[in-house]
Each structure stands twice: as C-alpha cells, then as structure tokens.
Amino acid sequence: MLRKALKVVSWIGAGIIVLAVVVFLAAMNIEVVQDRLVANAVQRGVLAGLDDDWGGDKLEVAFCGTASPMGNGPSAQQCIGVLAGDKFFIVDAGARSAARANEIGLPMGRLNGVLVTHFHSDHISALGEMHLASWVRGRPSKLDVYGGPGINQVVDGFNMAYGLDYGYRIAHHGMAVLSPANAGLKARLINAPETGAVTIYEEDGLKISAFTVPHPPITPAYGYRFDYRGRSVVISGDTKKSGRLAAAAQNADVLIHEVLQPQLVKTITDALDTAELDALSKLLTDTLDYHTTPVEAAEVANAANVDTLVFNHFAPPPPNAIAERIYMRGVKQVRPQGAVLSKDGMRITLPPKTGDGPGIIEISGE
C-alpha cells in the first residue's frame, strides 16, 4: 500500500514538473513576457556597466585578449588593461579585444591611452574599435597612442581610414554627445634606449617605463613596466628570451610574458605539411625563432626575481585543458611555484604594499 502511495506521489511530482515546463514554454511565446525578460536583463547589464571599481589605491591588470594570430578560438588577440588610481591604459589592441574590454566591464570612458609594443597586426588591429568604445563613453580628449618610431604612420592611417566614420557619427548624434575635439587618435612617440628604460608617463603616483626587447626583424619592439604605490607589473611584448627584459623586470610583483609552445606548433605544422599547405607551414615554423618558450619565460622570471609569472599571447592559444598542461611542461622544474596561464577576463589586483614582506597578489577569473 505504501509503495503504491509513493508511486502516486512520484507521478504527481513528475506531472507538476511537466506542467511547469509546459507553462514556462507557453509563457516564453507571449510577447509581453519576452519583453519583460529582455528589459530586466538589459537593466541588469546597464547597471553592472556603471559599477566602476577599477583602480583606486590598487594596481590592477585585466586581460582583454590573450591570443596570438595563431588559431581561431574564442580568445581575443593581445590586449592588457592596466589601472592605477584614476588612470587607465591598455597595452596593445588586437582583433576582438575592444569587444572583450567592454564585455569584462573595463571603464572605457576614462581610457588615457593605448601603449603599442610593436606594429604587428595582432597588436594594433582594434585601435579603431578602442577609439569608438571610449569616445562614445565620454573620453575627454583624443586617444593617445604610444609607440616607437612608426607610430605616426599607424595613427595617421587609422585616422584616415576612420575619418569618415568620425564625421558621420558627429553629424548624426550631435557635438554635445560626441565632441569633435575628442575624435581621433593622437600619436605619442617613444624612443626607448637599447639598454635600460625610459620613463614615458609619470603622474599621480603612476610611473610607466618603456624598454626594448628582441623580436627580429621587427624594430622597434617594446615592453612596458608600471609602478604604483610600491607595486609593479611588467609586460614583455613579443620577444625572444631576453636579458634586457629580465633587467627591466627586476623585483617586479608580476611579469606578464608572451609564450610559444614548440611542440604544439610542430603538431600544427605537421598537419599542414601533410595537407601540402606549405606557405602556412612555413609561416608558423618561422615563428619559432622570435618568441619565448614557457620554460625560457620561467628562467627570465627567476632571473628577474619576480613574484608571479603570467603566461600570455599564446602561440597557439590552448583550446583545452590538455593543451594547457602541455604549456606547463618543464615549467615546475625551473620555477616550482608562481607561474599561471592567463585567460580572457582574468583580473589581477595588487593592493598597496605595506611593510617589507611580499605584497598581496589577488587573481580572479582564472
């Protein structure tokens, strides 16, 4: 008797679930319900976008692109946001990175500038979109774009290509909404020395330095160091294993280093060779001589005495956990701890340093 009663209860419960699903599906076809659900979602998204807790007394890093041109996965190409106080800079702007910066909630309206490490397409292709994303959010001046010799050509080219767009938007939305004075990119030339570093920005406690790295035949190729309230972050740019980079990164809290995994590259080139795609195979093979392996990057981090090494600009981008493990092969033998893989949307927070010990490093979105 009890068993029959339990079956009845079970059937009733299942019937209620089925009925709820039917009601839900029916409701989803009602226009007023659709409108209400969409309006609620949009409202939450807009309010979330107004929640600007970036920077302040902290030095923060946000990854708005971690991929190289090698691969077509979901990651955006190279883009790293650095925030300190009310200052906000982006290092490089590869394909899809402006969309990713918006997606992760970076405060685009207060973007001070973009620092370009070098002029490969995967480091500059989203400059136009970065301009628009910050302009429509109220950026108060033209967008400064810092880079080595050649930066004027890059900036002039983007301004020429997007000049009609600037005019269309001003005419359509009005000068009160989109100020003509703030439209366009402005080149900021950097002449970094062959050895050592040059200060390119120093204001309100934030110091940014530029230094050269070897990425032949590409010249100039720069890395950048950010110092703020006793904390420091260094971004390698694209480079071979470099003593100059190790010197520039001495005692930094975080070193963000590009990496190429030779075994994964060989797997791809073997497949391309089998398919007789010789030109593509050569293009990828050529990358082996001007990037850094994960083990080499770990050696640089040790030589620089940095607390945390973050792999970035993956060649190729790891599509799954197995590939991520391949990236870490041999790293622990060189650097037992303090090495992590970056991902789009990852955030690193460095509160002001107090005392003589190592400072706190918070990593979220891994």
User: What are the catalytic residues?
Assistant: 122
Helix residue ranges, H only, 29-87: 31-49
CB-facing half-sphere around the CA of 324: CA atoms within 13 A: 10
Identify the helix (H) or strand (E) that includes residue 97: helix 97-103
Query: What are residue 226's phi and psi, to 5 degrees?
Result: -115, 125
By the 10 Å C-beta count (0-12 exposed, 13-18 middle, 19+ buried), 304 is classed as buried
Instruction: Read off the DSSP letter of residue 41.
Output: H
Query: What are residue 176's phi and psi, to 5 degrees?
Result: -70, -25
Please report the sign of the dihedral spanned by the C-alpha atoms of residue 227, residue 228, residue 232, residue 237: negative
What is the three-state SS of 260-297? ECHHHHHHHHHHHHHCCCHHHHHHHHHHHHCCCCHHHH
Residues 179, 159: contact at Cβ < 8 Å? no
Q: Beta strands of the chain (E only): which ranges?
A: 56-65, 79-85, 87-91, 113-115, 143-147, 185-189, 198-203, 206-212, 222-228, 231-235, 254-260, 308-315, 339-341, 347-350, 362-364
Q: Which residue has the tokens 């010249």?
A: 219
Neighbours of 303 (CB within 10 A): 16
How far apart, in whole angstroms, are the C-alpha atoms of residue 171 and residue 116? 31
